[in-house]
């Protein structure tokens, strides 16, 4: 209508067209899921542009577009099961006439469009594409990616949405001498590859990926490292082409490396250690080797301690993340360390943490949960971060630990990346934008893990996880893997990892894959919680899988409260709830404390069985219950099907160390001798339990982080691991960093200022000796490693549990007949009270029970006061003591 015909045209109606969001989901080649309400008058299609120039202006879309027509329908039951979070969405089916356009469309910008019968635009949104990529390029699951060698090198990268990929080859790590090489695309797999020359060996490279980026809103050419990198230049700026089977990358003796004897997963005793912590403060390590892989190949004080722990019965060292991370400058010259005299500052001062905060972003320390490349050793731990030296040094570390009698576990972080989108520290998302990360309903990247969540439920992210783990196992002879935030992985992904490892053999791969242990954090939270997107690898779901999860049940019962308490003084079984009140109102009335203590004791009993779901015992209220019927904050306490499926612990790198937790929770006037006893009692609930026993490095020697609850970026100062007891245990190093701790400073100040809370060498030595004794007791009998529910049910009992049980005392009896040549039975009494306690057991009446020979010959004079009356079968155990009694076989 013109003005002459009756007035001006009405203004164009604004459509709902936010192309910065992606609310439609192309879940397979035939189906788009979208939350729309179709009617006969509405029309749907996908608009796509290879130029990436679709935009919204003046009420409609602009750009050089083509379309794929869509017809409204319904999701099938199979589709709803595969995509449960989309079950309420409308299914829009691809018109068969346009089915052949999918591959072309995906190599550009794709927009879902809704129009009315007149053709007017109503709605337009970006499209999430992982599902259709998995469908169209299913054969890529079998592709070999990254560098491969067959006399000459081949480089391959999966980039199905790219319009072009080229190889940039560099003469050296500095980026000099760049040449460009064409890569060819395999249309069935979406893999681009190039075959090179033998002379390319140890050259550096990147990929030039021309692709539509939703984050940029246009087609870009990204120069990006290889997601399957095996070696890198310093600071991860370029990948390096290496052959991990090349003997030049083997340290001496690598081909004949002798592993410590493998143990079943349920017998593992694990020591959680950070590579830098291990030696950064160890004056017995040459200065240039401190904080490096090479420190594990020395005869340092730290290595002597590790050898001693192995002799006591420790089986594994768990290394916090050692794959390439994003946040520590890899060249020493690029780092800035604190320049303050930290040791001269008052024990309760704010000045230490303020000084460390100024350099935290550029210093040498980070836990490493900020992955950049998953299958390359971190360069800041190498003496020379440029190139393959880090490979040899990592292997030397493994060899050094194996020679000390310890197998090696890697902490792996596949659940997130440090960055996404077009960020320079983003790798995966600049190769296949919108694929490797888990997207929320509007297309934004989920960040519930802390950072950019990955999506192992997508085929190629799941493949990357499996391929990476297998590489570490086969090429670096790693003996176990701890999965960070494993509950964000599908259970199917973890089972695929297990199957892939089980296929590795000594004959073919030089590795016994079946002996490799697997465990992880089975927490249930975030956008995947409750199975919202898939069956997760969470605590309850992993029962029967043979893969273990950390149990917070015994942890909280022993420590008291939980890590998120506003008042950190909530007490538990091992921290004073049994007769040593600290006066905090958070603990409740005396009666509430008694009830809570008995509830905690039931949680501890379940924990001592290996957190078994179906173990039956008498609870403190007299009921016969299964482990799953004991409540932990409304969830089942027991959830494992076998003891080897649980990791039992009372401290780890997260939250305060055990010593620091006890500093908050025990009455401040508690003597250091009694603090040592409560530390040892708490650790005993871990070491003498069925299943995996896990301890944070240094807890056996009262390690403190000066009450820091989250020391991931707190520098060397708060993370010190001091092998020389004359330097203390780290307590009183100043108020912990304000970020994450400021709300607890009011509780921390008086504690840090109290010199009585700083242990001397006698206290540290006593704690270390007690832990060693516990390890020797654990490893002395197969009764502490019963492998099944049936064995635990028939051999492990709590004979004094029930209506009359004493608050603060747990007694565990193990029938060792027929499995232990030395002992008929073993009885453990955990007395957390401040008084001597007696426990009468009919099964011991007339027996000749004696204190375990390890304790009888040990240095703890208090436990030697334990007694047994054969006439009544009564055991007597001193205050704050764990006593182990044995009855000889025969």
Reading the block at residue 317, the tokens are 């060292």
Question: Is position 484 annotated as part of the catalytic site?
Answer: yes
Residue 229's SS3 state is coil
**Which neighbouring-strand residues pair with 47?**
67, 111
State the Cα–Cα distance between residues 643 and 437, nearest whole angstrom.
Answer: 34
Closest CA to 662 of 670, 836, 17, 654: 670
3-class SS of residue 356: helix
Instruction: Determine the Cα angle at 599 with ends 596 and 600, to 5°.
Output: 85
The β-bridge relationship of strands 164-170 and 179-182 is antiparallel
Helix, strand or coil for residue 115? Answer: strand
Structure tokens at 485: 């935030």
- Whether 18 is a known active-site residue: answer no
Separation CA 222–CA 837 (nearest Å): 70
User: 92 and 71 in contact (C-beta within 8 Å)?
Assistant: yes
What sign does the dihedral 670-672-673-675 (CA atoms) show?
positive
Count other Cβ atoms within 10 Å, centred on residue 710.
18
Tokens coding 32: 């788009």
Task: Write the DSSP symbol of residue 129.
Answer: -
Residue 646, H or E segment: strand 646-648
Given a contact cutoff of 8 angstroms between Cβ atoms, the answer to whether 885 and 827 are in contact is: yes
Sequential DSSP letters for 784-807: GG--SHHHHHHHEE-TT-STTPPT
H-run or E-run covering 457: none
Packing angle between helix 459-476 and helix 491-502, nearest 10 degrees? 30
Written as one string, the DSSP assignment of 153-171 is EEEEEE-TT-SEEEEEEES
Question: Which ranges of 414-568 does DSSP label H, i.e. alpha helix?
Answer: 428-431, 459-476, 491-502, 506-509, 552-559
Q: Yes or no: say if 549 and 645 are a contact pair by the CB < 8 Å rule.
A: yes
Which conformational region is residue 377 in: left (phi greater than 0), alpha (psi within -120 to 50 degrees), or beta? beta
Catalytic residue from among 370, 521, 656, 791: 521
Alpha carbon distance 755, 505 (integer Å): 55
Find all residues with CB under 8 Å of 219, minimum gap 6, and list them: 51, 52, 108, 109, 163, 210, 211, 212, 213
For 545-583, b/e burial (b = at least 16 CB within 10 A) is bbbbbbbbbbbbbbbbbeeeeeebbbbbbbbbbbebebe
Pair of tokens at residue 492: 């199917």
**Collapsed DSSP state (helix, strand, coil) of residue 224:** strand
Q: Which residues contact 810 (CB under 8 A, 6 or more apart)?
A: 573, 601, 604, 605, 608, 798, 801, 829, 830
Helix, strand, or coil here: 533?
coil
- Indicate the SS3 state at residue 181: strand
Beta bridge partners of 57: 60
Residue 688 and residue 22: Cα distance in Å, rounded?
Answer: 52
**Span between the terminal Cα atoms of the chain, in Å:** 107
Q: How many CB atoms lie within 10 A of CB 747?
A: 16
Pick the closest to residue 745 from 753, 735, 755 (CA basis).
Answer: 735
State the catalytic residue, choosing from 166, 312, 484, 599: 484
DSSP structural state of residue 880: T
Could you list the active site residues?
484, 521
């Amino acid at each position: 209508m013109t003005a002459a015909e009756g007035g001006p045209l009405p203004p164009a109606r604004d459509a709902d067209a936010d192309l910065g969001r992606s609310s439609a989901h192309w879940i397979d080649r035939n189906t788009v899921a979208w939350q729309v309400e179709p009617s006969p008058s509405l029309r749907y299609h996908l608009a796509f542009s290879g130029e990436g120039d679709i935009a919204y202006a003046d009420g409609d879309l602009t750009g050089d577009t083509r379309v794929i027509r869509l017809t409204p329908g319904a999701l099938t039951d199979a589709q709803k099961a595969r995509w449960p979070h989309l079950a309420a969405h409308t299914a829009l089916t691809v018109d068969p006439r346009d089915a052949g356009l999918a591959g072309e469309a995906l190599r550009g910008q794709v927009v879902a469009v809704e129009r009315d019968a007149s053709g007017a635009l109503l709605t337009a949104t970006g499209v999430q594409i992982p599902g259709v990529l998995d469908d169209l390029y299913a054969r890529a699951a079998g592709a070999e990616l990254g560098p491969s060698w067959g006399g000459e090198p081949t480089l391959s990268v999966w980039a199905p949405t790219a319009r072009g990929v080229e190889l940039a080859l560099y003469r050296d790590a500095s980026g000099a001498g760049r040449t460009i090489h064409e890569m060819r695309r395999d249309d069935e797999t979406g893999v681009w590859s190039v075959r090179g020359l033998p002379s390319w060996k140890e050259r550096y490279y990147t990929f030039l990926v021309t692709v539509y980026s939703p984050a940029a809103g246009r087609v870009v050419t990204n120069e990006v490292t290889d997601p399957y990198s095996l070696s890198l230049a310093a600071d991860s700026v370029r990948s390096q082409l290496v052959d991990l089977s090349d003997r030049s990358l083997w340290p001496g003796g690598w081909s004949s490396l002798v592993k410590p004897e493998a143990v079943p997963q349920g017998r593992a005793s694990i020591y959680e250690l950070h590579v830098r912590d291990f030696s950064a403060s160890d004056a017995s390590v040459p200065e240039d080797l401190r904080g490096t892989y090479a420190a594990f190949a020395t005869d340092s004080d730290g290595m002597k301690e590790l050898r001693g722990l192995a002799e006591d019965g420790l089986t594994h060292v768990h290394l916090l993340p050692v794959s390439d991370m994003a946040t520590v400058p890899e060249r020493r010259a690029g780092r800035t360390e604190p320049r303050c005299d930290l040791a001269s500052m008052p024990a309760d001062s704010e000045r230490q943490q303020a000084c460390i905060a100024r350099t935290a972003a550029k210093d040498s320390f980070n836990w490493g949960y900020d992955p950049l490349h998953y299958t390359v050793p971190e360069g800041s731990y190498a003496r020379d971060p440029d190139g393959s030296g880090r490979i040899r040094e990592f292997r030397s570390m493994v060899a050094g630990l194996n020679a000390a009698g310890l197998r090696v576990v890697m902490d792996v972080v596949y659940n997130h990346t440090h960055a996404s989108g077009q960020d320079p520290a983003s790798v995966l998302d600049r190769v296949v934008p919108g694929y490797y990360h888990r997207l929320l309903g509007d297309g934004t990247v989920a960040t519930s893990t802390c950072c950019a969540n990955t999506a192992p439920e997508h085929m190629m992210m799941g493949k990357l996880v499996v391929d990476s783990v297998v590489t570490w196992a086969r090429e670096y002879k790693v003996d176990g893997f701890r999965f960070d935030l494993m509950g964000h992985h599908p259970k199917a992904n973890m089972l695929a990892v297990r199957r892939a490892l089980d296929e590795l053999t000594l004959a073919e791969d030089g590795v016994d894959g079946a002996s490799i242990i697997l465990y992880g954090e089975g927490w249930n939270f975030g956008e995947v919680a409750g199975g919202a997107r898939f069956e997760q690898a969470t605590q309850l779901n992993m029962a029967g899988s043979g893969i273990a999860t950390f149990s917070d049940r015994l942890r909280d019962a022993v420590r008291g409260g939980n890590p998120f308490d506003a008042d950190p003084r909530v007490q538990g079984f091992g921290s004073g709830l049994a007769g040593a009140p600290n006066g905090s109102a958070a603990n409740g009335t005396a009666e509430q404390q008694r009830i809570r203590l008995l509830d905690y004791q039931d949680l501890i009993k379940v924990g001592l069985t290996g957190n078994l779901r179906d173990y039956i015992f008498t609870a403190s209220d007299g009921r016969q219950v299964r482990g799953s019927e004991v409540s932990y904050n409304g969830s089942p306490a027991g959830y494992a099907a076998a003891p080897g499926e649980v990791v039992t612990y009372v401290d780890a790198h997260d939250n305060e160390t055990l010593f620091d937790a006890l500093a908050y929770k025990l009455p401040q006037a508690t003597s250091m001798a009694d603090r040592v006893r409560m530390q040892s009692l708490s650790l005993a609930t871990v070491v003498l339990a069925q299943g995996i026993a896990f301890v944070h490095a240094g807890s056996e020697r009262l390690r403190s982080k000066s009450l820091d609850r989250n020391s991931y970026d707190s520098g060397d100062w708060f993370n010190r691991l001091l092998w020389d007891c004359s330097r203390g245990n780290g307590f009183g190093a100043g108020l912990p960093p304000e970020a994450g701790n400021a709300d607890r400073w009011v509780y921390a100040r008086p504690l840090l200022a109290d010199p009585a809370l700083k242990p001397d060498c006698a206290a540290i030595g006593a704690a270390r000796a007690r832990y060693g004794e516990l390890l020797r007791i654990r490893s002395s009998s197969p009764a502490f490693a019963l492998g099944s529910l049936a064995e635990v049910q028939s051999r492990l009992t709590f004979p004094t549990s029930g209506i009359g049980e004493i608050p603060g005392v747990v007694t565990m009896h193990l029938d060792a007949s027929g499995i232990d040549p030395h002992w008929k039975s073993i009885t453990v009494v955990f007395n957390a009270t401040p008084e001597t306690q007696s426990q009468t057991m009919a099964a011991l009446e007339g027996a000749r029970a004696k204190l375990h020979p390890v304790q009888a010959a040990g240095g703890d004079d208090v436990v030697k006061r334990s007694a047994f009356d054969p006439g009544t079968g009564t055991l007597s155990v001193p205050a704050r003591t764990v006593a182990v009694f044995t009855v000889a076989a025969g």
